[in-house]
Amino acid sequence: MISIVFGLATAIMFAASSLVSSRAVKVIGSWSSAAWTMLVGLIITLPFLFASGIPDGLAENTGWMLVAGIGNVGGLVLAGLGYRVGKVGVITPILATEGAISAVIAAILGESIAPIVAFLLMVIVVGIVIAAVAPDPAPLEHERPVLAVALATGAALAFGGSLFAIGHLSSALPISWVLLPPRLVGVAALTIPLALTGRLLLTRGTTPLVISMGFTEVIGFTCFAIGAQYEVAVTSVLASQFAPIAAVMAYVLFKERLGRLQITGVAILVVAVTALSIAS
């Protein structure tokens, strides 16, 4: 029951983060959106960091922390760029393949991979291609579907690398320290340089959006970490459902419509990612 509750909570948080991100980046851009999100997340994380103290094994995990931080921030920026030229309903299912990408990285680094997992990975690629080339019945202003899919795929690759690194860190460090790298890297690499050069943008309308993104990111990863301590498979399956949740909410809130072939590609992605989470 605990894994179900926290898995669903993770999906809801990630879906909410995707929705508000898709709005914020259209006004202040992907770089500023990511910068503010990481700053808010760092402010939220710091009290828990100080409360937990400096853990054993911090020094030997520095490399994994850098990979986790750079991958997460890079993925957030690329996803934001994708939301500027594409639809939530197409981009979020691609982002949900981060777990599959993490599995591929594990296989490349020597872990065995079952035939069913290899098959599902190929199905995921098919789903991405269909979503990219499918005709759009109601295109958005300035929409560029192929570019959006390419950016979303790059974001999924970055998130997958980060997720793989977080998997190593979660067994060695407290949750607050696992949450730290992306926020710290984001503030150091984005927030501070943009602020110093006068390019850190924020408007009254986007302020609640970036604050919401900071909270939903931190809460989502925390919920996933808690649920995974009980049942990783159940938590992963439910967490991956943030994609259809975000797609439905984008249709309800933003009137984003997908064509039949686009829906087919998205459905293939969702089913394949869910099956992969169970098979893994």
Can you give the pTM of this predicted structure? Answer: 0.87
Contact at 8 Å (CB) between 95 and 14? no
- Residue type (1 letter), 106: A
Q: Could you tell me the two tokens for 85? A: 């030229």
Top-ranked range on mean pLDDT: pick from 38-42, 103-107, 218-222, 260-264:
38-42
Task: Tell me the C-alpha distance between 104 and 121, whole Å.
Answer: 8
| pLDDT score for 138 | 79
What would the pLDDT profile of 176-192 be if each residue is shown by its tens digit?
Answer: 999 999 999 999 999 99
Rg (CA), the chain: 18
Contact at 8 Å (CB) between 199 and 32? yes
| pLDDT score for 136 | 78
- Residue type (1 letter), 201: L
Greatest alpha-carbon span in the chain: 55
Give the model's confidence band at 280: pLDDT under 50 very low, under 70 low, under 90 confident, else very high: low
Task: Tell me the C-alpha distance between 12 and 248, whole Å.
Answer: 12
B/e letters for 75-109, b = 16+ CB within 10 Å, e = fewer, are bbbbbbbbbbbbbbbbbbbbbbbbbbbbbbbbeee
To the nearest 10 degrees (0 to 180), the angle between helices 88-95 and 115-133 is 160
Kindly give, in sequence order, each residue whose CB lies less than 8 Å from that of residue 229, ignoring residues fewer than 6 positions away: none
Q: What's the distance, Cα to Cα, between the start and end of the chain in Å?
A: 20
Task: Tell me the C-alpha distance between 167 and 149, whole Å.
Answer: 26
